[in-house]
Structure 1
């Protein structure tokens, strides 16, 4: 007894023989969508003979021009491992038309890689030409609309499907408010109506009461005019009437676009002498068919309008949450940025692939002319991602004012992100399944000091920026990639560590910061996608080519480097360090009262050399005395434990304050007595003065880690007003921790 698979050798048939006996077309294409095989039935179905199409594009099978886009999307989808099924319109060599039902699957190598495409096809309906048109049209309209959520694309797909297969002219008018506007005017053979005749796209349309389009909207039903020669309708204008007569319009169908009882507009199709048809007239079946098509179009238009409204809301939300269009003017830096929201990319049968994302960036002025820079990306799409992005930007701006190192700022931001996790249902014994997972966020935070040229940074899972020095493009090295913010949830334990790193940037160094939309999923012409490394290399090459140009040119070159549409938002920030050195003066002093006058003298000389107005220079010197006096008075031989310190600024000879009042300063009696005896101290302070284009910054460094705060002084108090004066007279002031103590700073405008 023979078992399955034990066929005698004589019974084996070559694959070619088996495929040629199939009553179904089999076409095989390579990865570039070129035909490499077609069986006998394929040659019969598509109307070509021999092997003349071998090596040519699959479009050479006679696929109608309006279906070329669909065929391209098919190839892209299948080459990524998917399957596809749908209807094509094919034009045979003899001029006849056939609708084919196609099923496409990937052709895989034994290794599993996709080597090409196998297409199985059969005739959609064995009948006359008119019946074939009717059979395939509604199905193809549905397929075209299934993946469309962009209004213009939706309307274009409809018009491309209907003209010229079912109509010589297609008009779609939609309401905007209470007025009707033309959105589509498509004609066979690329013909265009003369100006001033039929309404152009974007123009308002007003139909007289007796017009067939007006009747269709009034009746909420499709209206058929089988023979225009027997029925005269009042045209919107006299020129449009004359053009219709000249074109020989023979038959018209007009159908309202209705969805959920709301009238969105009207769609009209017309036949004319523009093409030579055997029967240039519509019938009752065609009216019903267009009514069904109009229902689908109306639903798709409504979805597209809702999507565009949501997208516009998210875009407006994001635009107001991101920095202004023009970067701020900062000392020692040139800055350019560019943000481009992703356009909706559509794939046949797979719906929308992208919405507005959560890309974000910011430039934050810090103390003493230092600058904080951040770039990041929030997981997800739509208004929620934009909202989270806005909250992140606001939170980081607030945290950055603490002037802590970047790693500390990221740790604090990570904790803030994780607080967005919450139980969905308040109940006892909830577990991790009840949690709303916090968004994942990648970002890098930089702090740049233009006077020292030191860049400090910490990374949370974001791509490293490009580093351009002397025309050579590389990547800024991250010692650690870091973990994305929000990764660690409640109950997971452990501490997320972010590595503190620094680099010194040479004069004229350029950094290109970007989000992953710049290098992710860019389609190639063959339907495949560029890898991230290929895209990165393209960006590096483009930046290198314009590295000697301005920061705006570099930002534009980076954005345009990788061809193809993007399916994610792209944010780019380009910064360049100044080629010249910035003015700075600094000196260290022993923490002794006599040094207050020395510090003031240094400040006065520096302000004079910088051309500062005399009145402002005197004010700045006064505030220098106040801050330095406080440092001297609170100096100790060893650094005190970190705690808040009340500073009153009442130094020797300044506003009558008693510098040795232990109640004012919180000092022990012994220490007060030591200060009163003016015993020598080992502690030092450092005064640093910086000049920018618009302001002067004063910083006083010491090793006491206690940060100052303003204290309200009573009417009879002799001290407690020094820091209050700094707060009132300086444009900004603050204190920040340093690696070995603190820095108290204030800013005075030059003008």
Structure 2
């Protein structure tokens, strides 16, 4: 005989025997919610004679129609690694209805991947059928309301739960300003009231004095009419009353919707001959139950309305911080963009929700028709993420106007990200405020040379479509996200500068990760990131012959499921034709000013420019070129070390250098500076003319105030007054001074 405290059994029961003898239903499903195992108690609980449901959907276990959405959401939640517990209404094989309390957990492969779902279930309550109905109703309503974040969804779920289980008719009216508006009108057996009788959804509702709904709102308490036939004073008037008589309405409960002391509206439930119930009458317990339900509904509606208001505010805030609905008109580029905020996630009691995020994009006109492009994503969600996004977008726009290389722009933006976190630290406090993590890629595209320069900060590469082939734009280095310290001098991140040449008609698709991270649809299947990227590539390839709007729409619709995070998409396509450009180099001498002006005049004439516009452009060309030539002539000569020829021939090396040889060496070592040059480049777009003058002088020009007696000093002032824009930017070997003039049609 085995003694108390011994640590092992002489014989162990196999797991199959344990599961068979358990007085609890055990169901195992695969990743697609198909049943692959059920024990004997599950057959007994759900009334099945064998394994006919093996290989079929979990819905084959008799889950009631009104709970099927909840079952689908259960699978989605558990397949993401969560656990779930709640109550289901099940229809047994013999037609009887039972309520089961279920607990679901994920099944994991040794590698950690989720292979399926294990569900443990038991009967929720053993009593008469009506008590079971009441118990299951209240519990399931609580579960559904706990995760509801949209008013319309909240009300629809309530109506689906109450009809036909507890009522044949359900009406929910909410105040909009000072009047009631019908929001829900739900009826059993697919029946709908004839037009002109009961108020339809969206129509105003007015209850006369003495009406049970009016009493419920006045008393702030649920009102029961057990037998409507004997209480004619409570019946509605007009067509509504006559239709009620025709439908044989027998009993009604009206309950006010109260939340935080405020009356939001009224909910009324009615029984009639529509469903042929054995006892179509409510009692006092039903009135108290509906009162409790109405309180929960009101609180859920109030929370949903507050959430919706906050979400709309954050969304409006974010949209105001993003570019307008239409992209700007740019030479050599066609652009389409799309932004979609994530929708709230209904989680049936788990409180999971989705708010607007920090995705952003921008198109920034730069000097000489060049364009800055950015796509980025701020970590986190809600108003704070949108505010950080707005600050970063404004900062990047300001930095971009310096016309620095993309890597330098990201370095400054990274520093700005750290500055924001330091500004939030309390004065004198030691608390560390972590900088927001931001991924982004900044591009600069020159439509005349077709060169795309870019630097990346931890963002996914865009898709590139060239010659009908779709691939990812190759990054030599993905780079660290903004706000991550380390890797460079003084702890700063070093961003790599890269460039490539885009072919005519090439398409670039920039996007944020919300495009590929989707919630699954009805099948409950989550797509991996690689699967999602493949779907997007295939969709973009199929739509690549369409316009940029078609490509953006195809990319957005490529991955099935609801978006779980914000999605930003920017599609750009290069021009198929060459843009007009002319350039020439000149010696930096005063005589070359007239040559440069002549070259500009001939080019403008060849382009068919208006004579008055061409004369103005030539005048400004002369002023900018003159400024460059004057500064080239006054540029300081770089200091050079004297070069010595050596000791005098036959002289004693220990006695030093011969003075004559020294002087000769000084003369021989002096090199004449190379002749200085400047380059004039003219660009024509659809609406603007750009003029650029390049030279090797690193000094940037500035406007100065000229006195009345000064002969010069007014050139740049004239450019500033007559040009649309002007400026100067550093180049790899000097600087470029540029200005823009509009082209009148």
With structure 2 as the length reference, what TM-score do the two structures score?
0.92
Asked if the contact 2:228/2:235 (under 8 Å) is kept, the reply is no
Instruction: Give 3-state SS (helix, strand or coil) of 2:224's partner.
Output: strand
2:461 aligns to what?
Answer: 464
2:584 aligns to what?
Answer: 587
1:6 aligns to what?
Answer: 8
Alpha-carbon deviation of 1:29? 2.2
2:262 aligns to what?
Answer: 262
Instruction: Give 3-state SS (helix, strand or coil) of 2:563's partner.
Output: coil
| 1:294 equivalenced with 2:294 (yes/no) | yes
| 1:445 equivalenced with 2:438 (yes/no) | no
Closer, same or farther: CA 300–515 of 1 in aligned 2, 3 Å: same
- Mapped to 2, the partners of 1:71 and 1:82 lie a distance apart of 14
Task: Spell out the pairing of 1:106-255 with structure 2 (5 A cutoff).
Answer: 106-233=106-233, 238-255=238-255
Asked if the contact 2:149/2:304 (under 8 Å) is kept, the reply is yes
1:684 aligns to what?
Answer: 677
- Mapped to 1, the partners of 2:521 and 2:280 lie a distance apart of 43
1:654 aligns to what?
Answer: none
- Mapped to 1, the partners of 2:177 and 2:487 lie a distance apart of 50
Asked if the contact 1:639/1:704 (under 8 Å) is kept, the reply is no
2:550 aligns to what?
Answer: 553
2:658 aligns to what?
Answer: none
Closer, same or farther: CA 713–207 of 1 in aligned 2, 3 Å: same
Closer, same or farther: CA 441–264 of 1 in aligned 2, 3 Å: same
| 1:89 equivalenced with 2:89 (yes/no) | yes
Which 10-residue stretch deviates more, 497-506 or 16-25? 16-25
Alpha-carbon deviation of 1:115? 3.0
Asked if the contact 1:524/1:564 (under 8 Å) is kept, the reply is yes
- Mapped to 2, the partners of 1:680 and 1:31 lie a distance apart of 76
Which 10-residue stretch deviates more, 35-44 or 597-606? 35-44
Closer, same or farther: CA 486–114 of 1 in aligned 2, 3 Å: closer
Instruction: Give 3-state SS (helix, strand or coil) of 1:384's partner.
Output: helix
Alpha-carbon deviation of 1:7? 2.1
| 1:705 equivalenced with 2:698 (yes/no) | yes
Structure 1 residue corresponding to 2:471, chosen from 470, 474, 488: 474
**Structure 1, unpaired ranges of 5+:** 642-678
Alpha-carbon deviation of 1:721? 1.0
Asked if the contact 1:626/1:722 (under 8 Å) is kept, the reply is yes
Closer, same or farther: CA 129–234 of 1 in aligned 2, 3 Å: closer
Instruction: Give 3-state SS (helix, strand or coil) of 1:634's partner.
Output: helix
Instruction: Give 3-state SS (helix, strand or coil) of 2:491's partner.
Output: coil
- Mapped to 2, the partners of 1:639 and 1:234 lie a distance apart of 101
Structure 2 residue corresponding to 1:720, chosen from 713, 724, 743: 713
Q: Cα deviation per residue 1:456-509 (whole Å; 9 max; x = unaligned)?
A: 111111111100001100011111111111122999941211111111111111
- Mapped to 2, the partners of 1:637 and 1:709 lie a distance apart of 16
- Mapped to 2, the partners of 1:491 and 1:334 lie a distance apart of 37
Asked if the contact 1:522/1:562 (under 8 Å) is kept, the reply is no
Asked if the contact 1:440/1:486 (under 8 Å) is kept, the reply is yes
Task: Spell out the pairing of 1:603-642 with structure 2 (5 A cutoff).
Answer: 603-636=600-633
Task: Spell out the pairing of 1:730-741 with structure 2 (5 A cutoff).
Answer: 730-741=723-734
- How many residue pairs end up in the alignment? 709
Which 10-residue stretch deviates more, 79-88 or 166-175? 79-88
- Mapped to 1, the partners of 2:410 and 2:637 lie a distance apart of 27
Q: Cα deviation per residue 1:584-638 (whole Å; 9 max; x = unaligned)?
A: 1100000010000000001111111112111111111011000000111111597
Alpha-carbon deviation of 1:720? 1.6
Task: Spell out the pairing of 1:457-606 with structure 2 (5 A cutoff).
Answer: 457-488=454-485, 493-523=490-520, 525-606=522-603
1:745 aligns to what?
Answer: 738
Asked if the contact 2:76/2:524 (under 8 Å) is kept, the reply is yes
- Mapped to 2, the partners of 1:691 and 1:108 lie a distance apart of 63
Asked if the contact 1:521/1:531 (under 8 Å) is kept, the reply is no
Q: Cα deviation per residue 1:163-208 (whole Å; 9 max; x = unaligned)?
A: 1111111111111111211111111122222222111111111111
Closer, same or farther: CA 437–14 of 1 in aligned 2, 3 Å: closer
- Mapped to 2, the partners of 1:129 and 1:492 lie a distance apart of 74
Asked if the contact 1:353/1:567 (under 8 Å) is kept, the reply is no
Which 10-residue stretch deviates more, 627-636 or 721-730? 627-636
Closer, same or farther: CA 222–524 of 1 in aligned 2, 3 Å: closer
1:386 aligns to what?
Answer: 386
1:661 aligns to what?
Answer: none
Q: Cα deviation per residue 1:546-589 (whole Å; 9 max; x = unaligned)?
A: 11111111111000000111111111111111010001110000
Closer, same or farther: CA 295–523 of 1 in aligned 2, 3 Å: same
**Structure 2, unpaired ranges of 5+:** 639-671
Instruction: Give 3-state SS (helix, strand or coil) of 2:232's partner.
Output: coil
Alpha-carbon deviation of 1:83? 2.0
Which 10-residue stretch deviates more, 627-636 or 416-425? 416-425
Alpha-carbon deviation of 1:138? 1.1
Instruction: Give 3-state SS (helix, strand or coil) of 2:478's partner.
Output: coil
Instruction: Give 3-state SS (helix, strand or coil) of 2:32's partner.
Output: coil
1:416 aligns to what?
Answer: 416
With structure 1 as the length reference, what TM-score do the two structures score?
0.91
Asked if the contact 2:32/2:525 (under 8 Å) is kept, the reply is no
- Mapped to 2, the partners of 1:466 and 1:269 lie a distance apart of 55
Closer, same or farther: CA 81–342 of 1 in aligned 2, 3 Å: closer
Task: Spell out the pairing of 1:296-315 with structure 2 (5 A cutoff).
Answer: 296-315=296-315
- Mapped to 2, the partners of 1:111 and 1:427 lie a distance apart of 48
Task: Spell out the pairing of 1:246-395 with structure 2 (5 A cutoff).
Answer: 246-395=246-395
